[in-house]
Amino acid sequence: MYAITTNSKAEPILPSFSNSVLLELFQAKPVENFSTGRAVFWEGDPAKDVFEVTRGILRLYRILPDGRRAIVGFVFAGEMMGLSFQDRYLFTAEAVGEVSVHRISRRMFHAAVDSSPHLRPELLSHLRDEMCAAQDQMLLVLRNSADERLASFLLLIARKTSGEPERGTEIQLAMARADIADYLGMSIETVSRSISRLKWQGIIALDGPSRLTIQRVRALRELAGEVERFGDEDIPHLAATMGRQPVQLAR
């Protein structure tokens, strides 16, 4: 998921989720639509089905014993979900906007996979990718600076939607600040402050709360720990104003 750590090469591993032949299993199934905030399934429900998301984004979360919500991942269009369950869903899946999915029963899914020597290694491969992503997410949260986590998150979203980001790449944040906060393990206010800091440093620009533009890719990737901090090829002359609080707020 975060190319930095898990994959030897710095290529996004997500496409492997999407190009899967496994996805073909879903195509015969009818489309189901979920409107904003609706749950596809709940944590603890019997894990009867597996899904493919064809439109929109799903947020996966669990409620901790103390009542807080922890988002364990997002599922984007073109990705499958539910392959890694035993007999019960481990988390709730909720639509972050309008979402469409194909649904297939776990029994049928596994029957199909079992009977096909082609599909079997693919399922394994998929599970391993998921494993890999979960581990990366863990390491991301461990790396403690809020700004670093946010940088990684922005790169993640950018890659999911528009491939490898360059200067000028626009990012559409479909989820609210609260979602980002619960995903990155920090408070809403800290997410907001981190975004503001990136803005003051000229790394990103905002066109409204949920729409932003990457301006200094290299700096963003350095923050995310993807590259060594050395050359600063983009907009080095802004450095003078970077270190401290803004003299004046944009927008």
Partner DNA sequence: CGAGAATTTGAAACCCATCAATGACGGTGG
Partner DNA sequence: CCACCGTCATTGATGGGTTTCAAATTCTCG
**Contacting positions for DNA (CB under 7 A):** 144-147, 176-178, 185-193, 195-196, 206, 208-210, 245, 249, 251
> How remote is the C-alpha of 138 from its chain's centroid?
13
Q: Does 82 bind a copy of itself (CB under 8 A)?
A: no
Q: Does 64 bind a copy of itself (CB under 8 A)?
A: yes
CB atoms within 10 A of CB 55: 16
Q: Does 128 bind a copy of itself (CB under 8 A)?
A: yes
Give the interface segment with a copy of itself, choosing from 62-70, 95-103, 157-165, 197-205 (CB under 8 A): 62-70
| 189 interacts with, out of a copy of itself, DNA, none, CB within 5 to 8 A per kind | DNA
| 206 interacts with, out of a copy of itself, DNA, none, CB within 5 to 8 A per kind | DNA
* DSSP per-residue codes, 112-167: HHHH-TTHHHHHHHHHHHHHHHHHHHHHHHHS--HHHHHHHHHHHHHHHHHSS--T
Ranges assigned E (strand) in 195-235? 204-206, 211-214
CB atoms within 10 A of CB 251: 7
| 135 interacts with, out of DNA, a copy of itself, none, CB within 5 to 8 A per kind | a copy of itself
Residues 179 to 238 in contact with a copy of itself, rule: CB under 8 A: 185, 225-226
Run of H or E including 17 = helix 15-18
Run of H or E including 172 = strand 170-172
Residue 107 CB, nearest distance to DNA (Å)? 37
Residues 13 to 52 in contact with a copy of itself, rule: CB under 8 A: 44
Angle CA 231–232–238, to nearest 5? 150
Q: Does 116 bind a copy of itself (CB under 8 A)?
A: no
CA dihedral 69, 62, 3, 98 (to 10 degrees): -90
Residues 135 to 164 in contact with a copy of itself, rule: CB under 8 A: 135, 137-139, 141-144
Residue 145 CB, nearest distance to DNA (Å)? 4
Written as six digits, the tokens of 57 are 């984004």
> How remote is the C-alpha of 193 from its chain's centroid?
20
Residue 89 CB, nearest distance to a copy of itself (Å)? 10
- Residue (114 or 164) nearer to a copy of itself, CB: 114
Residue 84 CB, nearest distance to a copy of itself (Å)? 5
Spatial distance between the Cα atoms of 90 and 143, rounded to a whole number of angstroms = 25
Q: Where on the chain is the footprint of a copy of itself (CB under 8 A)? A: 4-6, 8, 44, 62, 64-66, 68, 70, 72, 84-86, 88, 90, 114, 120, 123-125, 127-132, 134-135, 137-139, 141-144, 185, 225-226
